[in-house]
Structure formats: structure tokens, C-alpha cells
Amino acid sequence: MRLLLLFFILCPVLVTGQNIEGYWTGSIDVQGISLRLAFTINVSGDTLLTTMDSPDQEVFGIPVQSTYTNDDTLRFEMPNASIKYEGVLDSSGRYIGMFNQGGMAFPLNLEKTEEKQLGNKRPQEPKKPYPYSEEMVVFLNETDGINLAGTLTIPKEQASCPAVVLISGSGAQNRDEAILGHKPFLVLADHLTRNGIAVLRYDDRGTAESEGDFTSSTAYDFSKDAETAFNYLKSRKEIDSNRIGLIGHSEGGMVAPMVAARNSEINFLVLLAGTGVRGDQVILQQSFLIGKASGIPEEELAKGREINKGAFDLVLDETIDDSLDTKLTQYFYSQDTSITDEGITVEQMVNKNVRTLNNPQIKYFIRYDPAPALKKVTCPVLALNGERDLQVDPNQNIIAIRSALEEGGNRKVTTKVFPRLNHLFQECKTGNINEYGAIEQTISPDVLEEISNWIKAIEH
């Protein structure tokens, strides 16, 4: 499911300031997710040259257009990305301030550190040289006229091997599905390829090296990309064209059955934290579970659920975007506006909510019911969830997935809920999103083994 992260696209500009040369770090909290930010300030004559890093999003060296400092104030301005930071120096040598982007404000305290410490320990990430071949590939989605870029890993000295396409979750994902310092698809691809299974993973359209427009696309468009990747694997002589499947994570677990429902050549599906009920129900449950784990009183959660449901009902009923904007705006202003996020006005909050719900991807997800597609899937399916998944509740979804598949006559269905695992299939304490980046493990080895063993055991 979607994590509301911050993205920065900037251009360099040089400005003047005082000598506070060094590396300044801190973190902001975005809907329960802790994101580290760092600013490197270098002095060149009378000029300050500053860059910003967002290591949890794997974004580094972003030029800051304007840097200003005096005896006790530090200010960064990046107008191209609607970003501004201002902090005041305290007695301990930290800058206590606020980070603003696009009308939203987040407390951010910056502390000077001696060295850059951007990375996290990720013991499961493979190191080169790999015991298999790795090839950078580009394949064409002819329907939409866009080239998709990816990485194909193939076991060495193995003719006609099985293969999978990896389909990422929501949000603009690169081929490794990089999130909060983790690279789940890199780890998964490495494990499968070492076990004799070729893997194609690719950058989402409009992301990294792939062409296309991500922001205006929906899960249906992503399903066309996944089918294009499947067809590309069929063209490779090293691949057994009768043993190619799809592995989808989160929203990718919704996209994979869309492809298999219309393409009977898909040999198998692996659904990792996939959805089984309509999107509005998934989001309502997700919001409740994450809020509860974050300590929000249940009375507030119940009120929020009621407000969200009313907004979702408007999205479900309205098909004209301009009219939806008007109806959503009127609806949100009719609710209790006495409480807003810190540092944001009621008008900004309403506008943000309206923009979010009238986004093509969000609207599509809210309205989409995966059951009809699941009922048309005839190939073997492995559906896995983590017991502590707060984003895609296993109690709500995995039962619905099995039910829809079996209602359609599919008896080749295996489902499993792993204890103590979260949405990323990490061993965790609570399952809350703010744990993801702090956990060293990227994917539980038990899950990796479950997937590879199941694929190898499929009868052909």
C-alpha cells in the first residue's frame, strides 16, 4: 500500500551565508513514518553550497537553491519543490525548526555530526559477483508506446528454467521496490535466482529508467506493463515459456490477478500481502489498525472512520472529476474542522484531502473490487500475508482471496499467514510502519523459502 513519502526535484543555485560547514542531520515524522533528512553545507569563499539527502528514500546530493544563516538562525529554501526549512540554534548546538513542503509542516531538529552515516545494515542484500547472470533489459509496452527498463537475472548453466515477473506495490517504485533503506525485490530476486528461477524486475512506468507517466496511471495501466514483462520473458530462449508466473506485492498482488484473469498463459501467481476486498474497505481497515498501533484513542479512530467512509462513498458514487472536487470540498468543510494536522490550516487540509481522493490512482483503488478478476484465475496461486500486517489486514483479505478463487472453481490455492511478520514480511514487534526502516531484516527467510519451494513444486 501507499506510503506518503516526500520527493524532491531541484536545481542548483548558490547563495551567501556564514561558516557552518559540515553535515547536519535530523528526521521528520510523516504519518507515523520517520524519514531521515541531512544537509551538507560546504563553504566556497563567501558562498555556502548546500545539498540535501533523504537516505530512507535513497535520494542523495539534491542541490539547495538558497542557504541563509546568521548568529542563531539557519534557513534553506528550495522553491522548485515548495520546500523551506528554518531553525533556531539552541544551547546544545542544535537547530530547532520546521520543515515545510507543499503547505505541510513537520518539526525538524538538525544536529551536526562528524561523519555521514546514511546507510543501514542490510545483511540480506547480495554482494557482487553473483553466482548467476545479470542483464539490464528494455522492453516495449506497444499498447501505450513506452519502454520499460529492468533487470533480468538468470541461473547459470540451466537450460529452459522457470521464471517470474515481480510487480511492485503502490507508489512510484524502482526495480528493487526500494523503501526506507530496504530493497525487497533485490533480495527476493537474488534468492529465487540462486534457486534456479529466473527473475525480471523493472522500474515502474515514469520511474527511474522507465518511460511513461506514472502520476496519471492506474492499476489497470500497471497490469499492462506487467503483461508486457511477461511477454518479454516468453521471448527469451533461456526461459521455459510454460513455466512463467507473476509475483505481486501489496498493490502488485492486486495487479497480478488482473493479468492472469485475461491471459490464460500465466502459469502461476504468488500474491504477497495482496488485497481481496474493495479498496475503500482496505483503506478503512488500514487506517484503523495503524492508528490503533500508534496510540490513537478508539473514539477518535471511529470518528475518522466515519468521515473517511463518507468521503469514499462520494468517490464510489461520482464519476465526473470536477463534480467530485466540489462535492468532496463541501463534504470536508461540513465535518468537524477544529482539529487539523500540526502546522496546516483547515483550507490546506481540505484541499489536500480533495487532491488525494481525486487522484486517478487513489480513485481507481477505492473503486476496484478484486473478486471478479480472482474468480477468473485458473492457475495455481500462493497467497501469503504477515500476521502483523497493518496495511493489508490478513483477516480481511486472505480469506477473501481464497473465497473468490474457489468460487471461480480454482482448487489449486495455497494460503498462509506467517506469525510476527509485517507488511514487508519482516520479523517485527508491532507491525507499525515506523519499524520498517529500523529493522535490519528485509524479508523473512521463511517466506523466501516458502515461495521458491512452492514454485519448484508446481506440476507442469
Provide the pLDDT confidence category of residue 47 given band limits of 50, 70 and 90. Answer: low
- pLDDT the model gives residue 429: 94
- pLDDT, residue 46, reads 59
Q: Where are the domains of the chain?
A: 15-113, 132-277+369-457, 279-365
d(CA 190, CA 126): 7
Alpha-carbon distance of 384 to 227, in angstroms, equals 22
Per-residue confidence at 178, pLDDT binned at 50, 70, 90? confident
Per-residue pLDDT, averaged over 226-247, amounts to: 97
Task: State which fold the 15-113 domain adopts.
Answer: Lipocalin (2.40.128)
Q: How confident is the model at residue 403 (pLDDT cuts 50, 70, 90)?
A: very high
Give 43's pLDDT tier (boundaries 50, 70, 90). Answer: low
Is the separation of the CB atoms in 235 and 452 below 8 Å?
Answer: no
Using DSSP, state whether 106 is helix, strand or coil. strand
pLDDT band at 117 (very low <50, low <70, confident <90, very high): low
Q: Residue 310 above 50 pLDDT?
A: yes
| 0.95 exceeded by pTM | no
Separation of CA 283 from chain center:
15
The predicted pLDDT at position 114 comes to: 66
Distance from C-alpha of 359 to C-alpha of 348, rounded to nearest angstrom: 16
pLDDT of residue 97 exceeding 90 = yes
Nearest 5°: the CA angle 154, 139, 230 is 60
Digit-coded pLDDT (tens) for 154-163: 999 878 999 9
Percent pLDDT > 70 in the chain is 91
Q: What confidence category does residue 313 fall into, taking pLDDT thresholds of 50, 70 and 90? A: very high
Residue-wise pLDDT for 338-389, tens only, equals 555 555 678 878 888 898 898 899 999 999 999 999 999 999 999 999 999 9
CATH of 132-277+369-457, one of 3.40.50.1820, 3.90.1170.40, 3.40.50.970, 3.40.640.10: 3.40.50.1820
Q: What is the mean pLDDT of residues 195-205?
A: 97
Mean pLDDT of the chain: 88
Backbone angles phi, psi at 437, to 5 degrees: -70, -25
Separation of first and last alpha carbons in the chain: 33
Cell numbers that stand for 89 in this block: 540554534
Angle between helices 279-293 and 360-367 (to 10 degrees): 100
